[in-house]
Amino acid sequence: MRTTFAKTLCELAHRDRRIWLLTGDLGYSVLEPFRQQFPDRFVNVGVAEQNMTGMAAGLALSGKIVFTYSIANFPVMRCLEQIRNDVCYHDANVKIVAVGGGLAYGAQGYTHHGVEDLAIMRVLPGMTVVAPGDPVETRLAVEAIAGHQGPCYLRLGKANEAVVHQTAPDFQLGRAILLRAGDDVTLISTGGVLELAMAAAHRLAAAGVSARVLSMPTVSPLDEAAVVDAAWQTRRVVTVEEHGHGGLASAVAEVLCQSRARPAFVPLRLPREPLSMAGDQEFLRSRYGLTVEAIVSAASEGPALQHINPKGCDAAIQTSVREAA
């Protein structure tokens, strides 16, 4: 995904001189093409993400389209106050890019696990939050946020993610992408676990279960219509994300809570507690239940949820949303 991001950004920068790229002393072997082609629009600010974000806001307020780039938590957690006050408060045209979302940098431990970012970024005012599911969606997402006026957050994987889309889908910010039709259960995925969701759908089909697969590259604003349609048309909704609480599952639960549809709802996500283990991404996904087998199980087992009262959403979310084992 990160290579696709860099290549697409270079292509866009050739066409639009307003595009700048700022990095916090990261991106080696990835960002050099941009630096070489556009040296007057590339700034390595050093290990100073707060300064990077303030600089980006200033450039954006002078008419630039500014991308900031760093690993996982660094362009988000370390400079959250600058994002909130400098970027969002002024509706600045800054695009925050985090590479290695989820457990992609799992071997570096919890400091490099990007597992709270979707929750934090989706509550900020005016922030569009995007987590593409594969390199094809990544290219389309970069093009979309470059043309979108206002703050955006782009959450990428790291490298070697599988290509899921064989042809480019119709990509629009705030819209889900239907990859597979189905009537029994809906799998809603965001980010790099899309490959797992599709593999689970194929396995379910072999067992006679018709699974709809929705890629949800935009977590905020969420495609509420796609969620409600899935809830009415299938008996079960399973969300899949390489993220902890407050992300896709919480956003979908909020929509279901206000809907009259009553599907079973199972969120597959990481635990709230910090992951105490280090290891590669595949190992950590397996350790914490983000596997094809876990998705198949969530899609086909367990009772339906209790009735959700739209007037008591907070209580409903606490009592009705069953955590996946």
Confidence check: pLDDT of 34 > 80: yes
Q: What is the CATH number of domain 177-320?
A: 3.40.50.920
Contact between 41 and 73 under an 8 Å Cβ cutoff? The reply is no
pTM of the full structure: 0.91
| Per-residue pLDDT band at 212 (split at 50, 70, 90) | very high
Ranked by mean pLDDT, the top range of 17-31, 52-66, 272-286, 302-316 is 52-66
Confidence check: pLDDT of 308 > 70: no
Lowest mean per-residue pLDDT among 27-36, 173-182, 273-282: 273-282
Confidence check: pLDDT of 20 > 50: yes
Is the sign of the CA dihedral 302, 303, 308, 312 positive or negative?
negative
Confidence check: pLDDT of 305 > 80: no
What pLDDT score does 216 carry? 98
Q: What is the CATH number of domain 2-155?
A: 3.40.50.970
Contact between 197 and 165 under an 8 Å Cβ cutoff? The reply is no
Confidence check: pLDDT of 234 > 60: yes
Indicate if 177-320 has the same CATH topology as 2-155.
yes
Give percent above pLDDT 90 in the chain: 84
| Per-residue pLDDT band at 278 (split at 50, 70, 90) | confident
How does DSSP classify residue 161? P
Instruction: List the chain domain ranges.
Output: 2-155, 177-320
Query: Measured between alpha carbons, how far is 262 from 276 in angstroms, rounded to an integer?
Result: 36
Lowest mean per-residue pLDDT among 97-101, 104-108, 180-184: 104-108
Average pLDDT estimate for 85-98: 98
| Per-residue pLDDT band at 158 (split at 50, 70, 90) | confident
For every residue of 192-208, DSSP letters joined together read GGHHHHHHHHHHHHHTT
Confidence check: pLDDT of 323 > 50: no
What pLDDT score does 302 carry? 52
Backbone angles phi, psi at 57, to 5 degrees: -65, -45
What is each CA distance from 136 to 68, 114, 119, in whole angstroms? 21, 22, 24
What pLDDT score does 161 carry? 87
| Per-residue pLDDT band at 275 (split at 50, 70, 90) | confident
Q: If you average pLDDT over every residue of the chain, what do you get?
A: 91
